A and B are shown apart, each in its own frame.
Chain A
């Protein structure tokens, strides 16, 4: 019978390694997914994910069961991932800092939803886009990536993202917007349905 997370957490706190191992196995893929979304590189993501679990173990006593365990460990994962990025690229500040984006030429509004909604090959197209997702994510600045990944993987609200990342809510919203806009343009390009020339926003 599968024990709930909180039960495993209690046992792990009490010094039970098998309980902790079970938690690792349960959450490893999603943790990896979060890490991969942020650091882009698969081997680095593997490393970051393992390190994240080590940190989780170190801080187990701090977990309070009012929040979800997976959201908690994803936060830790994101932090490890962002720290690793900062260390790896100390001189590439543009990757980490908030650089104002030039106005993107976006795909014409609606082409993606049309393609994904009515195209008979829609499922195939979705799978293709999912497959290139990491590639597309990799084109975003690291901070935008991190926000988008946390929003999508954990459903964190604007408030929660603002608090976790110590940035104003307005900045969260604008970064999410820029991240999505770029992702859409890239994915539309991959799908061959890009219709550039729509220009900037009016």
Chain B
């Protein structure tokens, strides 16, 4: 490995290099004084970026900052804000699927972990048209009633942004 190959490896932290890279870097550093010096330069400047930027932030008057942020958030955003937990994700699911669940007699269990959902509908004669019982520890199930039969959806994995 030459200096040009070693240089990008110099700023790495423990565990970031794979064994081959680690070995090659060690081997190079043991024979190259210039790269050892470059490593020392990097170490010396550690935290300079952070300290420099935080120093700037410390010098600035932030007394009006939070007011500015709150002013940019519309009042309506605070009402009915996303309810945390399963119920929140259930409501989120309502929003995401274009068809609203009908007969949504949601009976979420109030236990912290479990959501038990029962939806049922009977015909005029009392015969069961469909019923769905879902028990979930994490996902927030939702049932869409279509003329062909029920669709049971679950919440989203936390693949957010």
Contact = CB atoms under 8 A, between A and B. Distances in A.
Give the interface SS of chain A, mostly helix, strand, loop or mixed: helix
Interface in A8-58: 10, 12-15, 17, 20-21, 24-25, 28-30, 32-34, 36-37, 42, 46, 49-51, 53-54, 57-58
Contacts of B56: 32-33, 36, 42, 133-134
Interface of B: 2-4, 7-13, 16, 34-35, 37-38, 40-45, 47-58, 60, 62, 65-66, 68-70, 72-73, 77-84, 88, 92, 158, 160-161
A30 B54 contact: yes
Given A30-B54, A51-B72, A137 B16 contact: no
A15 B79 CA distance: 6
A190 to B, nearest CB: 11
Given A116-B44, A149-B53, A201 B84 contact: no
B83 A14 contact: yes
Interface in A113-160: 113, 116-117, 126, 129-134, 137, 148-149, 151-153, 157-159
A118 to B, nearest CB: 10
21 contacts: A13-B82, A17-B78, A29-B57, A34-B53, A36-B57, A42-B56, A46-B60, A59-B160, A60-B82, A64-B160, A109-B37, A110-B34, A112-B44, A113-B43, A117-B44, A126-B51, A131-B52, A134-B53, A153-B50, A157-B16, A177-B7
Given A17-B78, A177-B10, A177-B11, A109 B44 contact: no
B72 A10 contact: no
Contact of A202 (B3, B45, B73): B3
A128 B57 CA distance: 16
Interface residues of A, number: 70
A78 interface: no
With a 10 A CB-CB cut-off, give which of B34, B42, B49 has the most chain A CB atoms. B49
Nearest to A34: B53
A133 to B, nearest CB: 3
